[in-house]
Amino acid sequence: MSTTTLREPLAVRLARTAAGVRHDAVLVALDVALISAAYFAVLLARFEGVVPETWLTAFVRFLPLAVALHLLAFGLSGSYGAMWQHAGVAEARRLLLGGASAGAVLAALAAPGILPQPLSVVLMGSVIATGLVAVQRFHARLFAFHRGGERDASRVVVLGAGETGANLVREMARDPHAGLAPVALLDDDPDLQGRNVAGVPVLGPLAALPAVAQRHRADKALLAMPSASRATARRAATLADEARVTLKTLPRVSELVAGLPGVADVRDIAIEDLLGRDPVASDAAPVRRALEGRRVLIVGAGGSIGSEIARQVDGLGAAELLLLDNDETHLFDVAATVRPDAVQLLLDIRDRDQVHQAMARWAPDVVYHAAARKHVPLLEDHPVEAAHTNVLGTQHVLEAARETGVRKLVFVSTDKAVRPRNVMGASKRVGEQLVERYRPEDASWCAVRFGNVLGSRGSVVPTFVRQIRDGGPVTVTDPQMTRYFMSIPEAVELVLQSGALARGGEVFMLDMGEPVRILDLAERMIRLAGHEPGRDVPIRITGPRPGEKLAEELAEPDAHPQPTAHPAISALHPGALPADRLDEQLSQIRLHLLEHDQPSTAAALLALAHDERTELHLPSSDEDREVTPAWSPWPT
């Protein structure tokens, strides 16, 4: 009996037992039948099938006492009133304790002859009676594996026979109502193959999924490896596609609050689980040292990157958090996710006076500049907007930061700034040059380049999700187009690490892993949604949009990135345009903006970006120095 049960007064325990017996009347009736059958079977065996009349008469007087003692012992041990479909070790222990107690009392009475029954009948009868009652109680659990194979349950192949996989198989077997029936496990560890977990066999390596799924008529596969690499997840997804089964997964180790994941944590695999490289562990201490006790300003705090910067900075010891954005809704939303005393600055960085006044008023120590116009095709049609925000807005922020003595500034750039062929990339490359132009000599200002982030507004992934939901077509610009992808939290973590590494003048590049072919991405997302590409959801090739490259780069081909203390971050020290040359070009761009001259603004941005890359080889005359943009969206 449990400690709690033993501490209860006898009257309370008896009353509770009576209530349990009344509630479980059918169960009690079954127990009476099983106990009676057990003792009578042992009596028959004791006398080899022919019971003398004397012993049979004595047995008729003995049996009611034996049954009553068993029922009382089971009741006092808490074996009535339990939810046996969820029973475990504790319930089994109480049942055995009740049976042993009843048997001990009966044996104590039979040994000296008080009960006219052979001691062997009493001992064996109590053991068999307890065993039959236990089987009756736990039959749902004992046969859950077979019940799980019913038509309304999904037949599951569990990928991974480690601690997590074994725990999931046991949980599915315990709960037939979960709708999941494990039929096999697969694991690449040869030592685990050939074994079984809760009666479910480990039938081979992961590569056997198609054959095993077909043989066992499985319709789901569950990747039970919370610490699996993205390469393993991609391999599992490919095998699931081949096996024509739906792939499920579990949260990553970093997402788990505590303990092993269970059936309740099983979820559909998302494209984010498959893209990009595996996260690299980062030491938060350098970032904390850079931010602790300091006033931090996030420019563009309402955007995908800016809002995540705000959330991560909020947990790293900043003394004060300043959030700046020109969109009131986005600003309000991000403020709701951080400390309640965060300062909200609703202003447009294109307004020079507002920026200078705000910077002078709040005097930040650290600035993360993530505000930008960023949608490539849209900015090809609106280069004035790109220049106004990404170039002049950035200039306003940098001028004000210089005047107020900001010691650390991080400019969020893009891989499209490398050899730019579009307005957006050119504007961000000019922004990188502006960081160097306005950086105080002893200040740790830097820029950070990275590729596409998953889940950002306007990115390809939510676009594909919407198109698949609408039944297609899913539009892909070119079959050979590739892009780098990274999750927003990971990208921001590396942006903060870059800021901590900066000594001044660096352009940091983040390791984005291997590029992903957009056509492959579209096909995989269609399959993850349970459809067949081309048959259920069509894919349409539309041709590259204005300004798009087939592949992006993080550095120029002749650049020489240097490793840093962080394995996922490299540093460049590109040459800077002379200040007078940059100022001259900026003045020209300002004139185009005043005239709202879209073609001239686009040409000027691309020419300035081109000049940056070739400034070490510039001719001496101004006339020869004019550069025709490598590509222009505007007709001549």
Band (pLDDT 50/70/90 cuts) for residue 498 is: very high
11-15, 77-81, 132-136, 158-162: which has the highest mean pLDDT? 158-162
List b or e across 416-454, with b for residues whose CB sees 16 or more CB atoms inside 10 angstroms.
bbbbbbbbbbbbbbbbbbbbbbbbeeebbbbbbbbbbbb
pLDDT value of position 133: 83
Strand order of the β-sheet with 154-159 is 180-186, 154-159, 220-223, 246-249, 267-268
Per-residue pLDDT tens for 536-557?
A: 999 999 988 877 888 888 787 7
Structural contact between residues 478 and 543, judged by C-beta atoms closer than 8 angstroms: yes
Q: Where do the domains of the chain lie, and which CATH numbers do they carry? A: 3-142 (no CATH), 146-269 (3.40.50.720), 287-457+484-514+560-572 (3.40.50.720), 579-625 (no CATH)
Per-residue pLDDT tens for 238-249?
A: 899 888 888 888
Per-residue pLDDT tens for 386-412?
A: 999 999 999 999 999 999 999 999 999
More confident residue, 51 or 415: 415
3-state secondary structure (DSSP) of residue 292: strand
Q: Tokens 């007064």 sit at which residue?
A: 9
pLDDT value of position 90: 65
pLDDT value of position 51: 80
Band (pLDDT 50/70/90 cuts) for residue 129 is: confident
Q: Given the DSSP bridges, would you call strands 154-159 and 180-186 parallel, antiparallel or unpaired?
A: parallel
What percent of the chain is predicted at pLDDT more than 70?
Answer: 84
Q: Given the DSSP bridges, would you call strands 246-249 and 267-268 parallel, antiparallel or unpaired?
A: antiparallel
3-class secondary structure for 153-217?
CEEEEEECCCHHHHHHHHHHHHCHHHCEEEEEEECCCCCCCCCEECCEEECCCHHHHHHHHHHCC
Quickly count: other Cβ atoms within 10 Å of residue 73's Cβ: 24
> Above 80 in pLDDT, residue 181?
yes
> Above 70 in pLDDT, residue 6?
no
Region 276-290: mean pLDDT is 83
List b or e across 221-245, with b for residues whose CB sees 16 or more CB atoms inside 10 angstroms.
bbbbbbebebebbebbbebbbebeb
Per-residue pLDDT tens for 371-386?
A: 999 988 899 999 999 9
Burial of 258 (0-12, 13-18, 19+ CB in 10 A): exposed
pLDDT value of position 87: 52
Ranges assigned E (strand) in 527-600: 539-541, 562-563, 569-572
223-237, 405-419, 506-520, 617-631: which has the highest mean pLDDT? 405-419
3-state secondary structure (DSSP) of residue 44: helix
Region 460-466: mean pLDDT is 85
Least confident span in 122-126, 147-151, 436-440, 605-609: 147-151
pLDDT value of position 428: 96
pLDDT value of position 108: 86
